Structure 1
Amino acid sequence: MRAFQISTFGESPVLADVPRPHPGRDEVLVRIAACGLNFADLLTIKGEYQEKPALPATLGMELAGTVDALGPDAPPSLLGKRVAVFSGGGGLAEYGAFPASRCVPLPDSMSFAEAAGFQVAYGTSHVALDHKTRLQPGETLLVLGAAGGVGLTAVEIGKLMGARVIACARGPQKLRAAGIAGADHLVDSETEDLREQVKALGGADVVYDPVGGAQFTAALRACKPEARILIIGFASGDVPRIPANHLLVKNVSVQGLYWGGYLHFRPDVLTRSMGRLFGWYSEGRLRPHISHTLPLSRAQEALDLLRDRRSTGKVVVTTDQA
């Protein structure tokens, strides 16, 4: 089978012919139809992600496909089922063996492409806003990087939870996507002063930040007293220094969120969250946005779209296994 792999950190991945895996005792073999890309894939290539895989490693942290075979202890009911899998790796391939416990059956109305980009982006935003910050109806939510894979879902979920949403993104095209997702106010990070614009709108109760750098600093200065700031990632490449005295004066809380980490210490949080999210999808209340879909043979181009910030929403790579 074909798999998009890295053999050395810091070097470009390659599309390689590798043996098809066999499922272990508690695993299933998935015939992969689509894989959603994440900023973490870029960090993995450089060896900078918090969980380093053993090399050679197949990229792709989340995927969707059909269960093709079962390990001896995997639930028989999964055979032949359409599933989404948060794999942590192995998604950019034609087949993969994954723990049965990580398989989520798909609603009939959900395509493989939608499912492949659903779990990390929507899961991150829902756990962040519901479980971590307890976002309340009527509060003001500021979303940085609001046209990115997780940013758009934060806008969408924030509106579903009853917040007033301020979306910050770069350029008219990306702001248009955030507006379609439900943002009430739009701030262009290229041409407008983020701090002044947010303060003019009354300040932020909750900040959702997958960007870091100067935008974190500006957002902190635009917070209301007792605001909560969620650190999701550092797409800018700049990990900000947090001035503790500012937190003290305004009684502001800063929280970090690594969605995948809950698999190791509170998997029940993710299970409840996914149940709510798939329910919302089935009710037509969530509309996944995929800006680019490319075949596995063009996986490097797909990663370049993410790296160069030329995408809005999710970038998905497909195989011919649908």
Structure 2
Amino acid sequence: MSWWDRVRRDHILLLAALPGVALLLTFHYLPWLGNVIAFKDYQPYVGIVDSPWSGLANFRIIVSGDPAFLNALANTLIITLLQVLVVFPAPIALALLLDSLMSQRLRRVVQSVLYLPHFLSWVIVVAIFMQLLGDGGLLNRFLLDHDLGTVSIVSNPEAFFALVTGQVLWKDAGWATILFLAALSRIDGTLYEASAVDGASRWRQLWHITLPGLRGLIVLLLILRLGDALTVGFEQIVLQQPAVGVDASEVLDTYVYNNGILAGDWGVSAAVGLVKGLVGLLLVLGANRLAHRFGAQGVYRR
């Protein structure tokens, strides 16, 4: 069947997809053209076309060792590492735990409770944590009522990394569990029966049957996570930045916002954002090639 025949056959589906394609082009691909200001001394009142070219001058801040940029980069890498080591494995553990529950009704109830926070905006999530762990929150009120003193969590810069990691874990771990539960349901149950006949323990079944069955999904999600390795939640962090200060909470996304939107240094902010996107692309390509070498499909086939 020729290309034109396939178009004629699926023309209704193609027409239905046009609004989504137009939305994607308008808000995701056309804004890429604005990255040209990374190579210009951009002034909003002059415009992109008439702003003078500055070459690679805006990229010098990345290699010149600017303290503010290095601090934002270090905070970004620390939060990313914590999320990969703590947040990423959590849905796998939750899926394995829920899959072991014998009662289908209990499993559905627990699953619903776990993924409910995913539908809350970061404004609500941060407000909940403020009400619970803030200086005047529920926890400190309980401690004061029992003459135990108070603890500073939300406004403590030293606890910021643990705080944002816990918030991401509470908000999104339950939602990602759905994917792993779906993958677990596709594993052939006769494999467990055969291994049980051979005397395999639950741990050996987990290691030799369950985890290999989840390997493709784990690799895929890990590659996609690496693509966002330098993106650690702008809304979540910018909402809490006034409480802990810029030094403790500045990441690359808030650095772009604070220096571009607020301070007006548009060219440098665009340069940092462009480099961040290119690094994410390289991480995805590298991780995908590594996945192919280990026999996994990855994001796309070779």
* TM score, norm. by length of structure 1: 0.21
Pick the structure with more strand per residue: 1
Structure number, greater radius of gyration: 2
Pick the structure with more helix per residue: 2
* TM score, norm. by length of structure 2: 0.22
